[in-house]
Amino acid sequence: MSKSNVIGLIVIFALMGGYFWWTMKPMSEEQRIAAERRADSLVRVQMREDSIRLTREAMAEVEKNMTSMAEADSVVTGQLVDQYGAFAQARIATDEYYTVESEKLKITFSNLGGKIYSVQLKEFHTYDSLPLILFEGNTNLFGLDFFSNNRLIETDKFYFTPVEYSEPLVVEDENGVDFAMRLYPTVDDAVCYDKYIEYMYHVPYDDYLIDIDVNIVGMQDVIASHHGFIEMGWSLDLRQQEKQKENRLNGTNVFYKFYGDEDVNKLTENKDGEKKLPVKIEWISYKQQFFTTSLIARDDDSFLSGNVYVYKDNEKNNTVDRYIKTMKSELTLPYSGGDNETFSMSMYMGPNKFKELKKYDIGLEDQINLGGFFLVRWINRYGVLTVFNFLERFNWNYGIVILVLTVLLKLLLFPITYKSYLNGAKMKALKPEVDAINAKYPSQDDAMKKQQATMEMYKKFGVNPMSGCLPQLLQFPILIAMFRFFPVSFELRQQSFLWATDLSTYDSILDLSFNIPFYGDHVSLFTLLMTASTVVYTLLNNKTMGQTNQPGMKFMTYVMPIMFLGLFNSYSAGLSYYYLLANIITFLQMFIIGKIETPEKLRAAMLVKASQKKTKSKKSKWQQRLEDMQRIQQQQARENAKRK
């Protein structure tokens, strides 16, 4: 390395050392503050530049999005206009709800479809103490279907506008409250308020029936009228309100009545089905065990024809709360295309109480199955129900009401019971004479002679073997009437007595974790007591009345009560309680009659009566026919034996 190079390096290192010494020299306070201010200023400038940059980018993005939204809205609006024409704007809105409350009903209306959104029956609760909501949300679909400029319009998909609504709307007097929802068309982007479809609802102060007027005003250029009718659809998903989802004696079904027809019709019980209704319909009803929703025409041209359906939807069973079944109706309404047309109807939303339904005088009460046979219906309608409603006025517990009703019925039937018991006791008192005849004619070939001798003996003592059948036959319709009455009696719903919390359904003292075939998954104490009393009654009856000694007949008399144990275990506790009371009262009657009419007393009276007869009595026509039939049978038997 040359001398000049060495001198250069020394100068460079000297300069670098001087620089580091100068920069490491502590700054004065003024110098430090000035330096910090310069740094803060630089940061603020940078932040402002970054903010301006971000704001410009955000505004650009917003402008871009707004442009996209406007383009999308334009596309959607165009699609709606293409699909719905004058009703396109009514497809765009938000859901709103309006409540009208009366003494009995709390009704919520929805602007979507202008329909009833939900109905609460304020006086009642479900089996698990919840407010009783008859239906709610999209489980109720109601609307008109028609064509407008070759486009199918279903009004339940469009938003209606309420007319003069103020929250809350409460029915405060007997005049009721009117509430209207209107669907307006749009022409040239302007809403036509002089043209509309209106649902005018009238909610009364203290009733379960509301009026609905469907008014079509100024729509002759909007709704096609060349068919002469428009269609109306109504469907309902029924909710479980009772402990039993289905009741075999009081099930869920569609009922309907034609104009001019006194009979009420229904679809097949406990099955999915549909029915075409080709003539005018007065009303259609979606009936549950204890509550009904009915659509009723208020003039004879409202429902020209229709179809009704009932089915269970497995998908809805998993999505709709307490879902049971779906009921659906498709109805046709007359429409001529006039400037102002009205279809008047009513909707009943309330209990299946006979008196409540009967007051409308249109046959709604015939949905309540008081018995298929006309005699049974008459007994329940004009006898049992009348007495039952009379006893209700005393405000007794319904267990006491059933007790008094049972006592009155047993007193009414006492003459028949007395005659039946007396006839059986007389036949038992004549057992020595019967045994003597059997000993005299032991051979099977002498069956005819034995029968004739037995009949002569009974006639001698004034006993008719068939007279015991007539009293039982007369009591049978009442037995069936009570079997039909208790399961459908709304009055027993949620009425408790002793251990039973609800007399309208089964009582359970033990819920099983498994299901016993033909019995169930619970133990009903009233059913056990009823069955035990029936077995005891059978024992006493066979002993007292001298019933047949045939083993097969005796076996059946004891098997039947056991069969009833499985049958009645899931039926109304009130029904089992009634049969239990009937058996107990019958025991008392038999005991009292037995103390008064002893076998010894009866036999002595019959012997005296027989001894007073001087001539042989003439055979009755029935006895003569019986003997002729037996003679023919024996003759045929002998001829068959000779051929063999």
Instruction: Please answer whether residues 131 and 120 qualify as being in contact, where contact means their C-beta atoms are separated by less than 8 angstroms.
Output: yes
For residue 318, tell me if it sits in a domain: yes
pLDDT at 246: 76
* Beta-carbon count within 10 A of 484 CB: 23
For residue 12, tell me if it sits in a domain: no
Q: Give me the torsion for CA of 370, 373, 376, 382, rounded to 10°.
A: 70
For residues 94 and 58, membership in a common domain is answered with no
For residue 277, tell me if it sits in a domain: yes
Q: Report, as an integer, the average pLDDT of 534-558.
A: 65
Q: Any bridge partners for residue 100, and if so which?
A: 107, 169
Domain termination site, one of 328, 349, 368: 368
For residues 345 and 469, membership in a common domain is answered with no
For residues 327 and 421, membership in a common domain is answered with no
For residues 83 and 135, membership in a common domain is answered with no
pLDDT at 99: 93
Highest-scoring range by mean pLDDT, 137-141, 207-211, 471-475 = 207-211
Domain membership of residue 64 as a residue range: 53-87
Q: How far is CA 447 from CA 430, 453, 465, 471, 627, in A?
A: 19, 10, 17, 28, 11
Q: How far is Cα 415 from Cα 24, in angstroms, rounded to an integer?
A: 132
Where is average pLDDT lowest: 405-409, 537-541, 588-592? 537-541
- Look-up: residue for tokens 């000049």? 4
pLDDT at 633: 67
pLDDT at 39: 47
- Look-up: residue for tokens 């007399």? 503
Domain termination site, one of 368, 397, 427: 368
For residues 344 and 448, membership in a common domain is answered with no
Q: Report, as an integer, the average pLDDT of 449-465.
A: 73
- 509's CB contacts (< 8 A; 6+ apart) are 499, 523, 524, 525
For residue 301, tell me if it sits in a domain: yes
- Look-up: residue for tokens 């038997």? 637
Quick check: 641 pLDDT over 70?
no
pLDDT at 436: 80
For residue 3, tell me if it sits in a domain: no
pLDDT at 476: 81
pLDDT at 564: 79
Where is average pLDDT lowest: 59-68, 256-265, 492-501? 59-68
- How high is the mean pLDDT of the chain? 80
For 197-201, which contacts have Cβ atoms below 8 Å and span 24 or more sequence positions?
197/144, 197/155, 198/163, 199/114, 199/115, 199/160, 201/100, 201/107, 201/109, 201/116
For residues 483 and 431, membership in a common domain is answered with yes
When pLDDT is cut at 50, 70 and 90, the band that residue 228 belongs to is confident
Q: How far is CA 97 from CA 120, 128, 133, in A?
A: 15, 27, 16
For residues 278 and 390, membership in a common domain is answered with no
pTM over 0.85: no
pLDDT at 37: 46
Domain termination site, one of 335, 368, 401: 368
* Beta-carbon count within 10 A of 203 CB: 21
Q: Report, as an integer, the average pLDDT of 126-131.
A: 92
The predicted-structure confidence for 15-61, as pLDDT tens digits, reads as follows 555 544 544 445 554 444 444 444 444 444 454 455 445 445 554 55
Quick check: 124 pLDDT over 80?
yes
pLDDT at 470: 62
For residue 585, tell me if it sits in a domain: yes
Q: How far is Cα 169 from Cα 171, in angstroms, rounded to an integer?
A: 7
Q: How far is CA 639 from CA 133, 449, 644, in A?
A: 75, 18, 9
Percent residues over pLDDT 90 in the chain: 33
Where is average pLDDT lowest: 183-187, 316-320, 466-470? 466-470
For residue 83, tell me if it sits in a domain: yes
For residues 394 and 478, membership in a common domain is answered with yes
* Amino acid found at 247: N
CATH number, residue 334? 2.70.98.90
- 47 vs 199, higher pLDDT: 199
Q: How far is Cα 405 from Cα 412, in angstroms, rounded to an integer?
A: 11
When pLDDT is cut at 50, 70 and 90, the band that residue 260 belongs to is confident
Q: Any bridge partners for residue 237, and if so which?
A: 326
* Beta-carbon count within 10 A of 491 CB: 20
pLDDT at 232: 94
For residues 71 and 108, membership in a common domain is answered with no
pLDDT at 41: 45
Q: How many structural domains compose the chain?
A: 3
pLDDT at 637: 66
When pLDDT is cut at 50, 70 and 90, the band that residue 330 belongs to is very high
54, containing H or E segment? helix 29-84
* Amino acid found at 322: R
* CB neighbour class for 634 (10 Å; exposed up to 12, middle 13-18, buried from 19): middle
When pLDDT is cut at 50, 70 and 90, the band that residue 620 belongs to is low
For residue 21, tell me if it sits in a domain: no
For residues 361 and 387, membership in a common domain is answered with no
Instruction: Please answer whether residues 565 and 519 qualify as being in contact, where contact means their C-beta atoms are separated by less than 8 angstroms.
Output: yes
pLDDT at 76: 46
For residues 443 and 351, membership in a common domain is answered with no
For residues 355 and 337, membership in a common domain is answered with yes
Encoded tokens for 620? 């009755």
pLDDT at 195: 92
Q: How far is Cα 143 from Cα 331, in angstroms, rounded to an integer?
A: 10
- 543 vs 95, higher pLDDT: 95
